[in-house]
Amino acid sequence: MIALELESPAPIEHHPLKAVERSRPVPGPGQVLLEVRACGVCHTDLHIVEGEIRPPSYPVIPGHQVVGVVKEIGEGETDRERMAPKAPGEGERLTEISIGQRVGVPWLYSADGTCPACRTGEENLCPNIRFTGFHVPGGYAETMLAEARFCLPLPEQMDDIQAAPLLCAGIVGYRSLKKADVQPGEHLGLFGFGASGHLVLQVARYWGCPVSVFTRSAHHRQHALDLGASWAGRAEQSPPAALDRAIIFAPAGELVPLALEKLRPGGTLALNAIYMSPIPGMPYATLYGERTIRSVANATYTDGIEFLDIAAKIPLKPTVVPYPFMQANQALDDLKHSRFSGEAVLQIHPSPA
């Protein structure tokens, strides 16, 4: 199989991902072999490639928004209900995996299933968590292995390219809405407007929330307005009314005090970033008034099930920019320099016509 590997981190402008030939992996117990159809291109991939976050070892195959088709099933236990404890309130898991089934593989690759976090439905905080395209080879490859119990069913009406952004930008964005305590009809502020933001806006509008978007890019501001934002401007500007809730997507710590200044007393600010520059000092009055700041750490399997169900009902329409598989470096370069709206998606094994 062909995979795109990162031997060592470097600026994306140097195109550090290199195509290599690797043996086709063999699934073990509880695993499936997937033929990768498509893989979304995420800011986290960019952080990995450029070394802002570092995997345990190199080389690494990035990619964690994977749409694939099951080609082989490992021998042994594959019933996910028996492979891991089911936490209280956890969404229903698929109990069977079949050859030819289309599934999604998100950032959460696996968790131990036995720690206190896993037993309370917070496997996103598991101390032994593993991430796709970070701890294990990801979706920038023709084939990959996945843990059957963490694979997600995909909406049938969405094609591969549209489904890919749902698996990180969508799921983690949905968790951000939950952690921001967003209620139907509340005024929501989004700071940064890329792959995750444009999906979160559509969910918020489905809930009847007016949405204000803050971004430097005039093109992204227009994209937000086209998708139903009630106002769009720069982070230094003020929206027509105070925000009830807010989410920061950009990895820029200097946005935190700016967002808090626009948040009403009692409001919540969620930080949707796996990596963020230092948060500057600020007067206590900026936080005072029972405002809350909360980080968002990954997402759970239940988040994935809930979000994909909502995505099918809306129905969600991701803005996607397809790239050929071998143009992953260019896709990441374009992402870094905000040359497109929405999300780039690598086409690896296009689905049959």
Condensed to tens digits (0 to 9), the pLDDT of residues 35-82 reads: 999 999 999 999 999 999 999 999 999 999 999 999 999 986 444 443
In the predicted structure, residue 85 carries a pLDDT above the cut 50: no
Question: Helices 195-206 & 169-179, crossing angle to 10 degrees?
Answer: 50
Residue 113's contacts (CB-CB under 8 Å, 6 or more residues apart) are 83, 84, 85, 123
List the domain boundaries for the chain. Answer: 2-167+299-347, 171-295
In the predicted structure, residue 1 carries a pLDDT above the cut 50: yes
Residue 293's contacts (CB-CB under 8 Å, 6 or more residues apart) are 256, 260, 268, 269, 271, 287
Residue 144 CA, distance from chain mean position: 19
**3-class secondary structure per residue, 189-228:** EEECCCHHHHHHHHHHHHCCCCEEEECCCHHHHHHHHHCC
pLDDT at residue number 337:
94
Residues paired with 232 in a beta bridge: 213
pLDDT at residue number 66:
98
Please tell me which residue, 89 or 338, carries the higher pLDDT value. Answer: 338
pLDDT at residue number 275:
86
pLDDT tier at 241, thresholds 50, 70, 90? very high
List the CATH code of the domain at 171-295.
Answer: 3.40.50.720
199 close to 173: Cβ distance less than 8 angstroms = yes
* pLDDT tens-digit series, residues 262-319: 999 999 999 998 889 999 999 999 999 999 999 999 999 999 999 999 999 999 999 9
Classify domain 2-167+299-347 at the CATH class level. alpha beta
* pLDDT tens-digit series, residues 91-114: 455 547 899 999 999 999 999 999
